[in-house]
Amino acid sequence: MCGKPIGAFTKHVALSDGALCKKCFEDLGFDYKDKDLYSHDRFSQIECGYGAYMRNLIGDVPDQAEYIELFVAGFDFRQKELKSLLTEENDDYNLPKKAFLEEVAERTYQYYTETYPATLVPEPDNEYDPNAIAVYVDDLHIGYIQKKDQNQVDIDQIESVEAEIYGGKYKDIDFSDYEEELIKGETPYKAKLIITKKEES
């Protein structure tokens, strides 16, 4: 089972602690085309099966450092920089239609999501916003902390920052009327930050 997190931009069904794709349903003994699949009782069964599987797989999860996730603003002006950070092409994207429908059956971008260490740089002399905080990956300026999120970012209390880069051309499945249709689309390249805070002493 995949155990991919909610928000992975897939056609996974969101559960309380994760998500399931078509293959996951089959592995748990459910038919993803079942009209009653999303009834309360059946959904609870799926949650129980998935939760038991994940607990058996990873055991008890230890306490983790406090972190926040923020989306980077200004990505529309940084498309070239963001695209340059996606270097590994996803083989599933290039599968023939039949193979994609049978083996993948979820949104798949042309390039794998990449994660990089990032640096936050305050810009007190920024003419538009003296509270602006720029986001860099190496020497590439990929955007800014959104204005509404600036009060969550204390540079002195940050342990690490990672930037997840994603987007571009994708293939997906349309399940309308229980029929599988391959669709193609494209999104802007974007970045999400995972900011880990220092542990309180």
- 53 and 72 part of one domain: no
Report CA-CA distances (Å) from 146 to 12, 69, 118.
28, 12, 16
- 181 and 192 part of one domain: yes
Q: Taking the model in full, what pTM does it have?
A: 0.66
Report CA-CA distances (Å) from 27 to 2, 11, 88.
11, 17, 29
Q: Which domain holds residue 87?
A: 64-197
- 72 and 47 part of one domain: no
Dist CA 80 CA 148 (whole Å): 25
Dist CA 65 CA 46 (whole Å): 30
Tens of pLDDT, residue by residue, the chain (201 residues): 444 433 333 334 444 334 455 555 565 555 555 544 444 444 444 444 444 444 444 444 444 558 889 999 999 999 999 999 999 999 999 999 888 888 887 889 999 999 999 999 999 999 999 999 999 999 999 999 999 999 999 999 999 999 999 999 999 988 776 677 888 999 999 999 999 988 876
Closest CA to 194 of 158, 169, 141, 157: 158
- 134 and 103 part of one domain: yes
CA 118 to chain centre: 17
